[in-house]
């Protein structure tokens, strides 16, 4: 149940491979009871099934090449709250570091990052070729822009 109007927040997510019991223990230590995390949501989403089956015509990112996706988010009311939530998000990152697969999920990436981390190397090359062919002056931009190849 997202808020009906925009709210100030900070968040981050991770794309992960296989998880084991230690991963869950690390997650609970970073975000569970007694962790001091003030995030309003800390989650692990299971991927797989259709999300692992590429189909022709599904676009540049036709599948999720991860077994799990995480996201942590906190509502930011002031500078101190922002710092506290960023510390909790850093604890998430530390907890999941051994399980990361090197990719990121575009919709859960709130900070500047290399856009190549969102796509397979082949898909990223193709997107840069399309950008070069149809937008060589880089007029169409986004928060994680792809530069013309």
**3: left (phi > 0), else alpha (psi -120 to 50), else beta?**
beta
Q: Report domain extents, the chain.
A: 9-111, 113-149
Let me know if domain 9-111 sits in CATH 3.60.15.10. Answer: no
Alpha helices in 13-120 (DSSP H): 21-31, 79-96
pTM (2 d.p.): 0.83
Q: Would you write out the chain's pLDDT as a tens digit for each of its 149 residues? A: 777 898 899 999 999 999 999 999 999 999 999 999 999 999 999 998 888 888 888 888 888 889 999 999 999 999 999 999 999 999 999 999 999 998 899 888 888 889 999 988 988 999 999 999 999 998 988 778 888 87
């Amino acid at each position: 149940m997202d808020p009906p109007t925009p709210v100030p927040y900070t968040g981050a997510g991770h794309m992960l491979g296989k998880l084991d019991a230690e991963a869950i223990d690390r997650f609970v230590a970073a975000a569970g009871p007694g962790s001091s995390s003030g995030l309003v949501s800390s989650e692990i989403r299971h991927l797989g099934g259709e999300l692992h089956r590429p189909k022709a015509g599904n676009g540049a990112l036709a599948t999720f090449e991860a077994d799990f996706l995480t996201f942590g988010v906190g509502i930011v009311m002031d500078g101190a709250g922002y710092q506290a939530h960023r510390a909790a998000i850093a604890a998430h990152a530390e907890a999941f570091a051994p399980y990361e697969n090197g990719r990121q999920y575009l919709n859960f990436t709130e900070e500047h990052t290399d856009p190549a981390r969102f796509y397979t190397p082949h898909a990223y090359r193709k997107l840069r070729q399309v950008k070069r062919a149809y937008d060589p002056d880089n007029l169409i931009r986004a928060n994680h822009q792809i530069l013309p190849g």
